[in-house]
Structure formats: structure tokens, C-alpha cells
Amino acid sequence: MQTITTHYDGTFVKSHGSEVMDIIKPTNRKVIARVTMADEQDRKRAIAAAKSAFITFGRSTREEGTEILLRRHQAVSARVDKLTAATVEEYGGVVQFAGIIVQTGVSAFLAAEQALRELPLNRNWGNSTVTREPVGVAGLITAWNANTLFFCLKLASAVAAGCTVVIKPSELSSLQTQVLVEALHEANLPKDLLNVVTGRGNLGGAALVRNPDVDKISFTGSVDVGKLIMRDGAETVKRMTLELGGKSPTIVLGDAVLGQAIPLIMAFMNSGQACAAGTRLLLPRSKLDAVQRAILDAMPAFPAGDPADPKTAVGPMVSQAQYDRVQSYVRKGIEEGAEVLAGGEGHPKGLEEGYFVKPTVFVNVKDDMTTAKEEIFGPVLSVITYASEDEAVEIANDSEYGLQAAVLGTDLQRARRIASPIRSGRVVINKMTDDPQAPWRGFKYSGVGREYGRNGIEAFLETRAILE
């Protein structure tokens, strides 16, 4: 069994904290590791280290920043396989998607390096000069569903801006974090730019948010915790980037090619534990029968099972709490009158040992049902019909969330027209795609601020004017 008893502040140091947390493998509920959580003393040391390192690093040049990003990229690139394996083992991420998440995280250093090279930092006119300055010490808090991606993305943007960081990764991602930090340590960079303290959110995360020496918080997680962080950070007027939940709509237009599996890929990606998962499928009423048949035909291609098997599409939920959460939403969907087209309550047959749930599709969903409104964070798709394109847009926007939306249709002009009034941070048309330079994250309760590329770096900058 693996044990982790250190945290990281430029070197691996034995944690002063004494609370030990079990890491449980989601496929069989066995304890696979024990992790010592950082305590207040560990956190104070890490924050002090970041604060002291900022005095020099905060004055670093663009060239020094790009050099660090390239070295970090090189260091983590060498560990892609190990990181993917740790994600499958600890989180139960299906191997193909886990590989994509890890690769996207690793590439974030290169994407930030490119964005930094192109980012205008100074402007002059008359006797005025405007400069962009690093905000200071950044506290980075990650969620468990793509820990490597959030860790690398936030770190890369913060470094590009000239910030030093203290990272509080998800406590459910300790093994992945260990692989990552070991890799980053080998980049042999100036000490204390990177500090990592494990810990439970209400202690470790909250302490970072409240600490006056932390200037900025970049958080990925749930809306409820995002609200707490906003409140806790108010006392020290923290700068904030909050990446929160989603209930993303996929609008199928009348001319979309039926039978394509894209709606299911979008709903079940990362076993449905994805903020961007397209969990509301919006269909023209006239297409319901045909789409139901297409979904039933496509379902065998989305089996639940061993996440290490490349044929598996849906792995276990990350924890007992997450398993219970998904079950309660499936039950509620049935109680409120939605009809189960596929899946339903309980474990899939033969997978009773772990936190496996059945990939589930509800039809006859009304827009005001809980299953259409709340983020489930599991493989549950709600099919809602619309009578007109205007109504499709209305339903798509009738959500607290506004993270991502998708429009599927053959006529591209029409698809773009429908995409235009959708109130979400990203709209993808006809495919699940990504662009590391395009801003990402949400409108409304889906968050505050943007990550990726230039926007991601700007989130860690202050603007200063010098007038002569």
C-alpha cells in the first residue's frame, strides 16, 4: 500500500499534520493508499515560501517565464503514462478519456507559453505607461474529476503571469498529485515557486482563501463551495476565478443526422462526471421516436465497466457519496414522472462491488423537473422536446448554469444562428472540440472569470498605470 507523508514547498517535506486519509479504489472499494493531510503549520510554511519567492519571481522577465513553462512541460510530458494510470486507479477514470485529460493538462504549459509570447504587457502614450503586473501569491484549488488538467492549467497560467503558487489539490486526487509533483520537482526550477499542500476542503482550502498573504484564488469545483469561497474571500478582498458547475444543453436541429452518437458521447464523457457534460438533449418533438431508437441502438457502445479496459465508456463514480448522489437523482427523476429509456437505479449487473452506476437516459422530461435543472455529475441524460427553434433556445437558456452548449445540424448557417443567443461560456457546433487558446468556463452560476490562453494569464494579472 502506498503512503504519502510529505507535502511540497520546493522540496518534499514531512507533513507536520497528523490526520491520515484513506484513498479508496472506486472499482472495488479497497483502501489503496494512506495520505497524511497538511495542517495549519504546513500551510503557513507553504504560503510563507510562496510569498518570499514572489519577491524575486514577481520581477521575472517574459523570457524567464517561457523558459519555466517549457521546462515544466518537458518534465510532465515524461510522465503521461504514469499520470494516466494513477487517474484510472484512484479516480476510476476510463482510460481513453483519462489519457485525454492528462494530455490536455500537459499541453497547458505549451499553450500558456504561446499565449505569453503573444500577450501585450505594456502600453505607452504621452506621459502614461500601463503595465500588467502579477497579482502575487496565487492559491489554486482543484476538483477531483480532472485534477491533472486543473492543476497544470492553473499552474501554467499563474506562472506565465509571474505569480508564485500554493496548490490545494482535491483530497481525492492525492496519488495523481504525487506523480505530478514528483515530475515537476525534476524540472529543477527555483525553489518555492510551486508549493503543494493536501488537505480537506473545509480546512485546507478555506485556510488558503482566508489567508491575507494569498492574493488570488483560482478554484474549480461546485457552486456551493464557490459561494463559500466568495464569502470567505471577501474579508481580504481576494481576486477570484471560480469555475463551477454546468447543466449543458445539446440542441439537435431538425436537419441533424440521426444516429450519430455525439449526444451520448457528450453526456457520458468522463463517466458523466464532467462539468461540460451535455446532460440535456433538446430535440424537435417530431424527431423523438427516431432519436429514441437511435439512442437505444447506440447504448451498447457505452458500456459501464473496468475503467482500465479501453472498451469501457463509463467507469465507476469517484466515491460512495457520488454514487449515492447519482442514485438519488435517478430515483427523483422516476418519482417526478420522467421515463427511463435506458439504465435506471442500482448497479449494472456484475459490477456490484464498486461505485458503478448504470448509464441512464430519461425521456418525457419536462423542463421544470429536477433532472432537467440540477447538476447530477453522473452519466444521466435528460431528453427534452421543443416545438420551435425559439423554444429550443429558451429551454437551453432556462438554467442557472451557462458553461457549455452544443448545436447539431447540417445547415451550418442555421446552427450558428441558433448558437448566437445561447448564454454560455462556450458553444460547440457539430462536434466535441477544444481550443487551448479559446477562453473556457461559464456564464451565470457556472462561474466567474475565464481560463485558457491569454484570458487565463490575464486572470493572474493586475493593471498598473505610471504617469509622469
Active site residue 275: yes
Please, are residues 393 and 239 in contact by the beta-carbon 8 Å criterion? no
Please name which of 435, 440, 437, 442 lies closest in space to residue 160, comparing C-alpha atoms.
Answer: 437
The least CB distance from residue 397 to ligand NAD, in Å, is 18
- Residue 407 forms beta bridges with which residues? 251, 429
d(CA 145, CA 367): 27
C-alpha cell at 6: 510529505
Q: Which is nearer to ligand NAD, 13 or 448 (CB)?
A: 448
Q: Which is nearer to ligand NAD, 29 or 200 (CB)?
A: 200
d(CA 299, CA 264): 8
Q: Checking phi first, is residue 132 left (phi over 0); if not, alpha (psi -120 to 50) or beta?
A: beta
Active site residue 394: no
Residue 253: DSSP 8-state: P
C-alpha cell at 415: 446552427
The H or E element spanning position 77 is helix 62-77
d(CA 114, CA 32): 39
Q: Which of 163, 275, 375, 451 is catalytic?
A: 275
CA dihedral 453, 454, 458, 464 (to 10 degrees): 160
Class of residue 279 by CB neighbours under 10 A (exposed 0-12, middle 13-18, buried 19+)? buried
The least CB distance from residue 127 to ligand NAD, in Å, is 42
E strands of 322-409, at which residues? 339-342, 360-363, 380-386, 401-402, 404-408
Positions that interact with ligand NAD (CB under 6 A): 141-146, 168, 170-171, 201-202, 205-206, 209, 220-222, 225, 228-229, 243-246, 275, 375, 377, 403, 441-442, 446-447
The least CB distance from residue 415 to ligand NAD, in Å, is 24
Residue in the block written with cell 465508456: 313
d(CA 148, CA 23): 17
Q: Which is nearer to ligand NAD, 83 or 275 (CB)?
A: 275
The least CB distance from residue 292 to ligand NAD, in Å, is 28
Q: Which is nearer to ligand NAD, 101 or 330 (CB)?
A: 101
The least CB distance from residue 246 to ligand NAD, in Å, is 6
d(CA 231, CA 15): 29
Q: Which is nearer to ligand NAD, 221 or 354 (CB)?
A: 221
d(CA 76, CA 180): 7
CA distances (Å), origin 244, targets 174, 221, 282 = 21, 5, 23
d(CA 101, CA 110): 15
d(CA 175, CA 389): 47
Residue 272: DSSP 8-state: G
Residue 60 — φ and ψ, nearest 5°? -70, 160
Catalytic (active-site) positions: 243, 275
